[in-house]
Every structure is written in C-alpha cells, then in structure tokens.
Structure 1
Amino acid sequence: MTAALRFDPIRLPPVCEELRREVRAFLAEEIAAGTFDPHKPQREDSDAPEFSRRVGARGWLGMTWPKQYGGHERTFLERYVVTEEMRVANAPTRRFFVADRQSGPVLLKYAPEHIKMDILPRICRGELCFAIGMSEPNSGSDLFAAKTKATRTDGGYLINGAKIWTTSAHMADYMIAIFRTSPPTKENRRHGLTQFLVDMKSPGIKVNPIGQITGQHEFNEVVFTDAFVPDDHLLGEIDGAWKQATSELAYERSGPERFLETSYVLIELVRALGPDPDTRGAEGIGRLVAQLHTMRRMSVSVAGMLQAGKEPVVEASIVKDIGTLWEQQLPHRVRELAAFVDADDSNHATLDELTAFATKLAPKLTIQGGTTEVLRGIIARGLGLR
C-alpha cells in the first residue's frame, strides 16, 4: 500500500518565538555560569544531572504530556523550539533527551497506570536517563533478526542475550528494549518480538563500554544473564512490538537533532569568513544555509503532524536520511570553504578543532537511529516501490 507522502507547510506560531527567547536567555545564563562551553560539542558523553533538573524545573521536559503525569500539555512545535535551541547551543542534553523524546511517549501509550504515575513525573523533573535496546551483535540494524530472549518465569521474564550500540546505557536508569518472546514465522519474520521496560540496576545486567575515535564514551554493549523483568514491565502487545517500534521511531528520526549535530562547524565557518566573504565563500555558505533551511522546514512539518496525532513514519525517515547525510558531509565541505582563511584569523584555531572533531564524529551519524539503507527501505515501501 502506498503512503500519502506530504510535508505540510507549517509556520511556528508567536508563542514559539516567545519561548525561544526564554530558552536562549536560560542557556546564556548557564553558559555564563560555566555549566557548559558552546564551542566544545562534547555533550554526547557528558552527564549533567543538575542542568537536567533545572531544565525540568523550567517545564521543558514532558512538554506535550498530560499534566496528571507531570507534563505540561504544550505543543510539539513548542517542544521543537526547545530542542532546536538546546542543540544549537551544544547544551548537555544527554541525561534527559532520549527519555523526553521517545521513551516517555512509549510509556504513555503502553505502560500500566502505576508505572506511568511513578516514572513519567520523574522524567519531567529531569531525574531519569533512558537507553534504547534495539540493535544486537551480528544483526546490525536488522531489528527483526533480534535473538536476545525473554523467557517466561514466575511473575515475569528472564532475559538472556545482548544489545549493542546502546547509547548512554552506562548512565541509564531504565532501558526500553525489544526481546524475542517467540520465534518468527515463515509468513512474518517480524512476529515474536516484545517490548519491555528494564530497570538497569537489576541483577544480571552488565554494561561494557564501546570507545569511539573521538575519545568519547557514548555507546555500550549490554549483556543480560538471567536478568529478571516483572510482568508489569511488559509494554504493549506480546509478540507484536514491531508495530510499536515503528511508531516510536517517528519520534526519534524527525527532530532537529538529525541535522544539527555538526552545525557548530557551519557557525564557526561563518565567523571565520566574516561579514564580507569572497564569491566562493558566499556561494558555499548560501548553499549550506539553504539546505539547512529546507531540512528545518521538513522537520517542523513532521512536528506539526505529530501534534495532529499522526504517525509520519515515512516523512520522519526522509528527514533522518537527508539530515544525517548532510551533517555527515558538512565538516568536509567546511574544510574546503575554509581552505583560504587567514591562519591568523581570530577563530581559526577553534574552527580547525571543531572541524577535526566533527570529522571523527561523522561516521556514526548515518548509523544511529537507523542506517541509511534501512531508512531507504522504509521510504521505498511507503512509496509503493517494494
């Protein structure tokens, strides 16, 4: 069946611009206080619990959630603005970002009421960190090849196996993971996967760090050995998690974080070329900014669809595919455009440092959140091409 592919033209309302000014003022205060340095984009492996709590106290976590769970019943467009400003400033969002972006909405939709009442308010206060358990060793991004088993036992399930590339698992309080509860069928290899909420402090869970070329510790291997998950931590339909995961990824793949992760090098390039760049520099910056503006309009459109209660899986996949390719290629393009910048320019050293860091960071961008190949398969199916 072919999906109706569309990106509705959506403009941010005045309330969003008011909120933007508020967020910028808050971030300026945090930078002045030394909480973080916007010129050092090391947020991926930084844990800033006090900053997380201050963001929660401002009402900027769980913004779209019901007030009964600690949320604020604001719009996805308002949440978009907060995310955008945090990313551009290179704020240390690691502790709360996954919980706010996708784990909370999953719990809202599938968790028992007492779990919602316990965990969601703590996410809104900035107290909890979540990890996502999808990829496994030897199966890459093929979610349906998952082999880590959840075996029925008294009062719950025993988990055995491993997850890999689990971002922030070393600091996470909880993980939302997909485990195999039944074998796949010939007719449906997606069958047999079930989603669970896992307390990362449970016995039988070992987190092994995976180093990166940047020197960061962001990714991990998580090994489960008879780790117990109680019945009330099962989320949604037994053997039907693939449907839930598809919906969840619409939240993960469409936000401004999917094209702003290396934007700091573009900002430094503009500073380096100055107010009167040559023709080559002006054209290069113009093209990059036009591309960035286009991706932003697409991403805002997806936020509007989420606000309308839709599940724009294909559109979100397009934003992620285009966005991560762009931010992956950005440091190389910046290096080309900065080739003739005066070595004595005031920010040349900063530009060189950030470009080198972004170049080392770039390889992971088209893998995290779904590889380019997987995304294009989703897009092709949505367009009726496969």
Structure 2
Amino acid sequence: MPTPRIDPCVPDAACESLRQEVREFLAEALAGYPAVARARHWSSADPAFSRKLGERGWIGMTWPARYGGHERSQLERYVVIEELLAAGAPVAAHWTADRQSGPQLIRYAPDTLAPKIVPGIARGETYFCIGLSESDTGSDLASVRTRATRSRDGWVLDGAKLWTTGAHRAHYMIALARTEPRGDSRHAGLSQFLVDLKTPGVTIRPIRNQADEHDFNEVSFDGVELPDECLIGQPGEGWAQATTELGFERSGPERYLSGMRLLLEMIDAASARAGSSDEARARARVALGRLVAHYATLRQMSLGVAGLLARGDDPALAAAIVKDLGATLEQSLPDVAHELFGGEMPMGSTLAEVAAYVTRAAPSFSLRGGTREILRGIVARGLGLR
C-alpha cells in the first residue's frame, strides 16, 4: 500500500524577510481593526485593501510577468497568505481570483483569455466566483444540469448555480456546464466557460447564511450568449479543469486558519483570567496547548503542500489530508471556547462575539472545498484502497 509523504519545507531567509515586510504593512493597514471583523475576514471584502496588495505585488505572486504576475516562489506566496489570514485581513474580494481562477486561465487559456483578464486580478481589481455547485446535486458535481449549446456566434448558457460564494461582488464566473449529452462516462461532455456577470440573462439572488451574512448566492442563466472565446480550453475538458481548480482551492493554509482569531482570543482570555482555581488554569493550559500543538503540526503539513507545488508535484492527496484535518480542528474551537469560558463571556465582550461568530460559521468548514466524505475518498484512492 502506498504511503503518502508530506515532507517538511522550511521557508528561507528571503521568505522570512518578506514575512516581516507583510507584518509591518498589516500592522499599519489594520490598525484599530476590531477582533470581530478579523474573525469575519473570510467573508469581508475591501476592494481598496485588495488594490493595496496588488500594488505591493502580493496578488498573482507566482504568475508569469506577461500576465501581470511577479514570478516569485510558492513559498513566498505561502508566507503572504499565512500572514494575511493570521491577521484577519479582509481578503474576500480577490481571494478566489488569486487562488484558483487566475491559475486556471493561465493554464487553459494562455493566449486568449489570460492576457485580457489576469492582469486585472494581479492588480487587485478583478474578482471571480466559482460556478460548480447546483441545486439538488450536493457534492456530485458531475451531475450538473446547466447546459451550454452551440450557436452561430458561440454558445448559449442556460441553468443555475447555487451556493456561489461572492457572486454579488465578482466580475466573472468560471462555470461548469454540460456541452454534450451524458454518456457512459459521467465526466465526459463537460466544459468550462468564462462568464461576465454583467451579461444579459445573468441574475444573481442573495442567500444569507446562518451567521446572517450575505456570502452565498444563486446565479441563474437564461439564454446567456457567450462568444466562442469564452470557452476555456477545449470542449469536454471541463471535468479535468474543475478537479485542478479544486486542487488549488484545497492547497492553501486558509483551510486551517479560518478560526485563528478565536484561538488568539482564548489565549488572551486565559492569560488575563483572575481568581481562577488551579484546576481551571491547568485545564485551560492543557486544552489550549493541545490546540496550539495541532496548529503547529498542520502548519508543517501545509508548508509541505507548498513545497509540493514549488517542485511541480501533484498536491491533491496531501492537500486533501490537510484540508480534512484542518476542518476537524477548526470545528473543535467553539466547543473548547464554551467549555473553558462559557460562564465567563459577558454579552458583548470580544471573546463572546468572536466565539458566537465562529460557532455559527464552523459547520461550513467541512463543506467548502469538498466535504469530509469527498476528501477521505481522495485519500482512500491515494492509499490504493479504492
């Protein structure tokens, strides 16, 4: 049976110098930024902040210069992402475009779409959403019912996408659609398209989540006319493209740093505790120490994934492991907070508000980027068990 390897990868001196530069920038840019806002960073969009990152070359870091990129290493990009997430920076506007949409266009449409679209991403001015999930299909992405049919001048798109994060602030969507009837292979006959969300026939309807945020949307297509150049790659390549895109989505440290603010608030609360019994202090030390140890381990594994990307190796198996373990850890944070501080969180306190937000958001941690069952299926195949 094959054994997965995630070898340690240590950032070099250039990476650590960059880390200090990012920290100094964030200390100034986020001065006075409240803890609750930092906890919501995953859904907080600030176009001005995204443009500042673009000006500093911190979006599109690894991309070729011809697309507005900066040709830096995967580890340098990792350092910037890690610092942004740990600080709770408002990254939602550009995140999807930087993480996966830009790389998709560079890989599959290098001479057509990428030169026109990707430089705007690198400047922090062009935003994307993902058009994969649909109503009643769950995680079965191959069962999409959105269809693209040939027209004289290109394609006509009909159907709908559901749970589309950030569509209300995005300029474009990369949408998976069926272009050929479903045959023996469920994955054949699928293609991806670049959709300008201002195109006539596109309708975006908001969905509020249980944290009372407008992050999700339903996006419907009613006879949306697309020029032929909006086909990404070749017809029928959509499934391979979508799985590559999900690999980008799962490979970063965001899959274990989404709840970092709650851990930091718990550590601060434990340090400031007065009058607690020796038993309570010992219980807090053990519980928080265990969380920190888990975070340290996941960080080493996540750096290992960055190392795989830097070497050009396939990160799919390692990324699935890190994403699954990261979601499990982050979903445990609210339970630890309520166990240790449940009776000591006054209404309106920073700890109470951060804990309340992460409690509401935590169920989504094991859904986005692939459910736990999907990820463990990837791991099983990687181990030769399927």
Q: TM-score under structure 1 normalisation?
A: 0.94
The amino acid across from 2:260 in the alignment is: S
DSSP 3-state at the match of 1:91: coil
Q: Which is further off, 101-110 or 326-335?
A: 326-335
The amino acid across from 1:224 in the alignment is: F
Provide, for residues 276-329 of structure 1, a one-character-per-residue CA deviation record: whole Å limited to 9, x for no partner.
Answer: 982111111111011111111111111111111122111111111111121122
Alignment-derived partner of residue 293 in structure 1:
296
- Please say if residues 35 and 350 of structure 2, whose CA atoms lie closer than 8 Å, have aligned partners that are also in contact: no
Q: State the Cα distance separating 1:106 from its structure 2 match.
A: 0.3
DSSP 3-state at the match of 2:257: coil
Q: State the Cα distance separating 1:338 from its structure 2 match.
A: 2.2
Alignment-derived partner of residue 364 in structure 1:
364
- Please say if residues 38 and 89 of structure 1, whose CA atoms lie closer than 8 Å, have aligned partners that are also in contact: no
DSSP 3-state at the match of 1:179: strand
Q: State the Cα distance separating 1:184 from its structure 2 match.
A: 2.5
1:333 aligns with 2:331: no
Provide, for residues 55-114 of structure 1, a one-character-per-residue CA deviation record: whole Å limited to 9, x for no partner.
Answer: 100000000001111100001111111111111111110111111000010011011514
Map 1:75-154; keep pairs closer than 5 Å: 75-154=73-152
DSSP 3-state at the match of 1:305: helix
Map 1:195-274; keep pairs closer than 5 Å: 195-274=192-271
DSSP 3-state at the match of 2:349: helix
Q: Residues 274 and 348 (structure 1 numbering): CA distance in 2 closer, same or farther, change over 3 Å?
A: farther
Picking from 125, 134, 154, the partner of 1:156 is 154
In structure 2, distance between residues paired with 1:300 and 1:3: 21
Q: State the Cα distance separating 1:350 from its structure 2 match.
A: 0.9
The amino acid across from 1:222 in the alignment is: V
- Please say if residues 128 and 172 of structure 1, whose CA atoms lie closer than 8 Å, have aligned partners that are also in contact: yes
In structure 2, distance between residues paired with 1:23 and 1:308: 24
Q: State the Cα distance separating 1:340 from its structure 2 match.
A: 6.4
In structure 1, distance between residues paired with 2:60 and 2:157: 30
DSSP 3-state at the match of 1:60: coil
Q: Which runs of 5+ in 2 are unaligned?
A: 274-279
In structure 2, distance between residues paired with 1:363 and 1:7: 27
Alignment-derived partner of residue 52 in structure 1:
50
Identity fraction in percent: 49
Aligned residues: 379
DSSP 3-state at the match of 2:69: coil
Q: Which is further off, 330-339 or 249-258?
A: 330-339
| Structure 1 segments (4+ residues) deviating >6 Å | none
Q: Which runs of 5+ in 1 are unaligned?
A: none
Q: Residues 313 and 119 (structure 1 numbering): CA distance in 2 closer, same or farther, change over 3 Å?
A: same
Q: Residues 120 and 207 (structure 1 numbering): CA distance in 2 closer, same or farther, change over 3 Å?
A: same
Q: Residues 218 and 44 (structure 1 numbering): CA distance in 2 closer, same or farther, change over 3 Å?
A: farther
Alignment-derived partner of residue 312 in structure 1:
315
Provide, for residues 191-216 of structure 1, a one-character-per-residue CA deviation record: whole Å limited to 9, x for no partner.
Answer: 11111111111111000111111111
Q: State the Cα distance separating 1:237 from its structure 2 match.
A: 2.9
Q: Which is further off, 143-152 or 276-285?
A: 276-285
Provide, for residues 123-154 of structure 1, a one-character-per-residue CA deviation record: whole Å limited to 9, x for no partner.
Answer: 11000110000010010111111110011111
In structure 2, distance between residues paired with 1:119 and 1:4: 40
Q: Residues 131 and 278 (structure 1 numbering): CA distance in 2 closer, same or farther, change over 3 Å?
A: same
Q: State the Cα distance separating 1:4 from its structure 2 match.
A: 5.9
DSSP 3-state at the match of 1:189: coil
- Please say if residues 36 and 353 of structure 2, whose CA atoms lie closer than 8 Å, have aligned partners that are also in contact: no
Q: Which is further off, 244-253 or 258-267?
A: 244-253
Q: TM-score under structure 2 normalisation?
A: 0.94
1:355 aligns with 2:361: no
The amino acid across from 1:196 in the alignment is: F
In structure 1, distance between residues paired with 2:248 and 2:115: 22
- Please say if residues 272 and 348 of structure 1, whose CA atoms lie closer than 8 Å, have aligned partners that are also in contact: no
Q: Residues 310 and 318 (structure 1 numbering): CA distance in 2 closer, same or farther, change over 3 Å?
A: same
After superposition, the CA RMSD in angstroms is: 1.8
- Please say if residues 42 and 258 of structure 2, whose CA atoms lie closer than 8 Å, have aligned partners that are also in contact: no
Alignment-derived partner of residue 375 in structure 2:
375
DSSP 3-state at the match of 2:158: strand
In structure 1, distance between residues paired with 2:272 and 2:210: 35
In structure 1, distance between residues paired with 2:348 and 2:268: 9
In structure 2, distance between residues paired with 1:226 and 1:208: 17
In structure 2, distance between residues paired with 1:316 and 1:112: 26
